[in-house]
């Protein structure tokens, strides 16, 4: 690293990659060296807009940096990430890490052998509503998530399980802290030829049950996680960045009397989960700390996501996913 700054480049500066660039540019411990995109015109446009040098290929740029943000389509993740890790560079890769477990395991092993940070961009881990919810968990019994988006062409290189549901899978698997016992799933295509609407029910060995629904053809954006547990009802609204806890007022123990429930809301209007995620990545690179999103968690989320996708394919009659 140069003068206590991490030299970073962004590979893939489409919609999400541009956001990565903005956060790096604002980070005091980062020297943003350059950007690359498969579309040369897009790379030049971004270079001019942010006064950053645009490169025609990433191979040259990899010789000049300490860390990389990778925000290319998922189909290119493995090949590009392998080149990045081979150069001994730390990597923040957008979700999902790859399409399959085999390539994901290869990348994880490469990072471990070289002592590199490999962090996957499951940004909702850094959402303050989710962080607050985790601090109130107490033997949850049932967890429910709804993640609905208006349709856009972005992210349609994968189905809705890997595009949207994987965020909630990651969070719920982490909160349950138990092995998965059983999974049921249904889904359908509406627009893309891939699964656009999906529902999964997961039963864990410790008795927790989770129900997850994701859609990218909804009429409004909804991103909520609900937790039902003996002492409280918890709600994390990831879209609004709000957390609500509902429970009996202190001292209310006599069930023969009318119960008085109280709800307390925390709002986080000025939060920036992506900036927090990138900040944590840079901190991990500088200090060698293990990222909050560990490789094992990333693999577990991908494994269950692929199981859900397989169940949906087997259960569909008229829908034939594109290969």
- Per DSSP, the residues of 37-68 read -SSHHHHHHHHHHHT--EES-HHHHHTT-SEE
Residues 112 and 132 in one domain: no
Close Cβ partners of 317 (under 8 Å, ≥ 6 residues apart): none
Q: What is the pLDDT of residue 157?
A: 81
* Same domain as 91, residue 26: yes
Q: CATH no. for residue 31?
A: 3.40.50.720
pLDDT for 307 equals 95
Regarding whether 307 and 226 lie in a shared domain, the answer is: yes
Answer yes or no: do 17 and 69 share one domain: yes
Residue 186 inside a domain? The answer is yes
**Could you list the residue range(s) of the whole structural domain that residue 111 is in?**
6-116
Let me know if residue 298 belongs to a domain: no
CA-nearest of 52, 16, 19 to 36 is 52
Q: Which residues of the chain have pLDDT under 50?
A: 317-323
| pLDDT reported for residue 320 | 42
End-to-end CA distance of the chain: 42
Domain co-membership, 63 together with 135: no
- Structural domain includes residue 282: no
Q: Which residues share a beta bridge with 242? A: 237, 267
Structure tokens at 85: 């890790």
What total number of domains does the chain contain? 2
**Residues 157 and 193 grouped into a single domain:** yes
CATH number (domain holding residue 181):
3.30.360.10
pLDDT for the residue numbered 181: 95
**Do 265 and 129 belong together in one domain?**
yes
Q: Which of 236, 241, 244, 226 is nearest to 272 (CA)?
A: 241
Q: Are 262 and 246 in contact (CB under 8 A)?
A: yes
pLDDT digits (tens, 9 = 90+) for 239-283: 999 999 999 776 555 656 666 789 999 999 999 999 999 999 999
- 91 and 70 Cβ atoms separated by less than 8 Å: yes
**Residue 12 lies inside a defined structural domain of this protein:** yes
Q: What is the CA radius of gyration of the chain?
A: 21
Give the separation between CA 183 and CA 307, rounded to whole angstroms: 8
């Amino acid at each position: 690293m140069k003068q206590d700054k991490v030299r970073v480049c962004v590979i893939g500066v489409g919609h999400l990659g541009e956001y990565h660039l903005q956060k790096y540019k604002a980070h005091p411990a980062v020297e943003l060296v350059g950007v690359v995109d498969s579309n040369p015109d897009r790379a030049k446009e971004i270079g001019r807009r942010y006064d950053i040098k645009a490169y025609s290929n990433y191979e040259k740029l990899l010789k000049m940096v300490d860390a990389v943000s990778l925000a290319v389509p998922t189909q290119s993740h493995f090949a590009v990430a392998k080149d990045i890790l081979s150069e001994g560079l730390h990597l923040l890769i957008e979700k999902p890490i790859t399409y399959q477990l085999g390539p994901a395991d290869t990348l994880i092993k490469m990072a471990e052998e070289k002592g590199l940070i490999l962090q996957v961009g499951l940004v909702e881990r850094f959402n303050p509503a989710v962080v607050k919810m985790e601090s109130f968990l107490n033997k949850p019994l049932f967890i429910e998530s709804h993640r609905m988006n208006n349709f856009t062409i972005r992210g349609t290189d994968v189905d809705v399980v890997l595009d949207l549901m994987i965020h909630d899978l990651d969070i719920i698997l982490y909160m349950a802290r138990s092995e998965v016992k059983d999974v049921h799933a249904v889904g359908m295509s509406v627009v893309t030829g891939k699964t656009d609407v999906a529902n999964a029910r997961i039963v864990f060995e410790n008795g927790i049950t989770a129900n997850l629904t994701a859609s990218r053809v909804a009429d409004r954006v909804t991103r909520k996680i609900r937790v039902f547990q003996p002492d409280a009802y918890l709600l994390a609204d990831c879209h609004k960045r709000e957390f609500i806890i509902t429970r009996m007022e202190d001292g209310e123990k006599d069930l023969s009397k009318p119960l008085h429930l109280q709800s307390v809301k925390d709002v986080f209007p000025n939060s920036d989960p992506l900036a927090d995620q990138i900040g944590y990545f840079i901190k991990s690179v500088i200090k060698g700390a293990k990222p909050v999103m560990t490789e094992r968690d990333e693999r577990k989320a991908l494994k269950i996501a692929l199981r859900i996708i397989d169940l949906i394919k087997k259960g569909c009659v008229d829908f034939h996913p594109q290969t």
